[in-house]
């Protein structure tokens, strides 16, 4: 996008975890992030770098009005449901919001001539992993989502790709691996309700703010028997969105790009890293596998480097854990809204 001009970017779901970090990165890049969010799981306090338009992605009139009011040049689409477990219980809701929501967005973008989209996709499109059990996953690995959540991300990608071919929309789908960490400013961080993610749960256990962690499975075919995941710092993830907006792509291009480091960390390694950072061991017990957990999900990040000129700069496990821990100890400490909400209810949710 045109460097220097304060072009507006509509950030749907920009009051959530990754959306808020991306809004900050857009602001730092000289763009105006216009957050469009229904605040069903995001936080008003997390919207700091541009205006908030309260609206639902399925509301085409409100979407069109927001795009017109700010003369939006591009869209980054985060808004959607993310809990894999809930998607098996309520696939209807996931299709309604994650797929019909994208239909609605694409229709309005087409009507208004907004030609650039970055879409929040997921490694969940790969289901159980890549070609080999411990191999890094390239973008052309088989797509076999293992949940309705993954189905909706893949279906949305297909719809976006078709729209690119149909009329010249240019789009990048970023397939996130494991987003983690928090902005070092302390202004924003991760808060999900309910929390199901490993790093926040391990930190809560170490700080005595939550129950002991259960390590799900020790008999996977991995070096230490626990699952391998590719943890990516949320600020590296935010930078990937800015890079995807800036990428010099031909009109009508659709590209799906992995966002990960190419390095796997095991659950046991994460537990040790949290213990080191907290200065006390993480109370934990060993439990059975969680249904559907693949042994290893590690990105092949070569395409992101080649196409977007992006590579991670702050995704070492110790750095991720240190930033997450700072936030968990004192959420919102750099925000000026300290104490405005309950500890885990402060900004930001995804
Ligand atoms: N995990 C765990 N205990 C927990 C939560 C997660 O052992 O209480 C493991 C989970 O089995 C997976 C890894 O931590 O191998 C990362 O899980 P998370 O839910 O954070 O992300 P996912 O990879 O499922 O998207």
- Which phi and psi angles does 120 have, rounded to 5°? -80, 95
**Regions of the chain where pLDDT drops below 70:** 1-5, 332-350
Residue-level pLDDT at 349:
36
Residue 129: per-residue pLDDT: 81
Cα(24) to centroid of ligand 1, in Å? 27
The residue annotated as part of the active site, out of 17, 149, 176, 231, is: 149
pLDDT at position 333: 57
**Catalytic annotation present for 70:** no
pLDDT in the model for residue 330: 82
Q: Give pLDDT, residue 71.
A: 97
Q: Which of 247, 252, 231 is nearest to 303 (CA)?
A: 247
DSSP 53: E
Q: Which domains does the chain have, with CATH numbers?
A: 8-198+216-345 (3.40.50.720)
State the pLDDT at residue 346: 40
At residue 334, the pLDDT reads 54
Distance 37 CA to ligand 1 centre (A): 27
The 8 Å CB, 24+ separation contacts for 302-306 are 302/138, 303/138, 303/139, 303/255, 303/257, 303/258, 304/240, 304/243, 304/257, 304/258, 304/259
Give the model's pLDDT for residue 181: 96
What ligand 1 atom has the least distance to the C-alpha of 215? 7
pLDDT confidence of residue 341? 29
pLDDT, position 5: 58
CA dist 181 and 97 (Å) reads: 26
């Amino acid at each position: 996008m045109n460097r220097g001009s304060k072009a507006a970017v509509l950030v749907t779901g920009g009051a959530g975890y990754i959306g808020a970090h991306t809004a900050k990165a857009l602001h730092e890049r000289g763009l105006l992030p216009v957050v469009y969010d229904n605040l069903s799981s995001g936080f008003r306090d997390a919207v700091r770098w541009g205006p908030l338009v309260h609206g639902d992605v399925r509301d085409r009139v409100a979407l069109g009005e927001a795009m017109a009011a700010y003369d939006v040049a591009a869209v980054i689409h985060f808004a959607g449901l993310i809990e894999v477990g809930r998607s098996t219980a309520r696939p209807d809701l996931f299709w309604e919001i994650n797929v019909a929501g994208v239909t609605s967005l694409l229709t309005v973008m087409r009507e208004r001539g907004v030609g650039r989209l970055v879409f929040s996709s997921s490694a969940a499109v790969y289901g159980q992993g890549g070609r080999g059990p411990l191999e890094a996953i390239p973008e052309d690995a088989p797509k076999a989502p293992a949940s309705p959540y993954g189905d909706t991300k893949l279906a949305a990608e297909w719809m976006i790709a078709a729209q690119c071919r149909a009329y010249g929309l240019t789009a990048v789908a970023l397939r996130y691996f494991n987003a983690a960490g928090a902005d070092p400013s302390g202004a924003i961080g991760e808060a999900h309700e309910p929390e199901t993610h490993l790093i926040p749960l391990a930190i809560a256990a170490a700080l005595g703010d939550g129950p002991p962690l259960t390590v799900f499975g020790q008999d996977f075919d991995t070096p230490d028997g626990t699952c391998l995941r590719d943890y990516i710092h949320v600020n590296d993830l935010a930078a990937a969105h800015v890079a995807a907006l800036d990428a010099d792509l031909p009109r009508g291009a659709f590209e799906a790009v992995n966002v990960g480091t190419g390095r796997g960390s095991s659950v046991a390694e994460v537990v040790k890293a949290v213990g080191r950072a907290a200065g006390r061991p993480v109370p934990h017990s060993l439990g059975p596998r969680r249904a559907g957990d693949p042994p290893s999900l590690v990105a092949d990040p070569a395409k992101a480097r080649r196409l977007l000129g992006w590579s991670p700069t702050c995704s070492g496990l110790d750095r991720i854990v240190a930033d997450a821990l700072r936030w968990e100890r004192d959420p919102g400490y750099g925000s000026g809204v300290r104490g405005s909400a309950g500890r885990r209810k402060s900004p930001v949710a995804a």
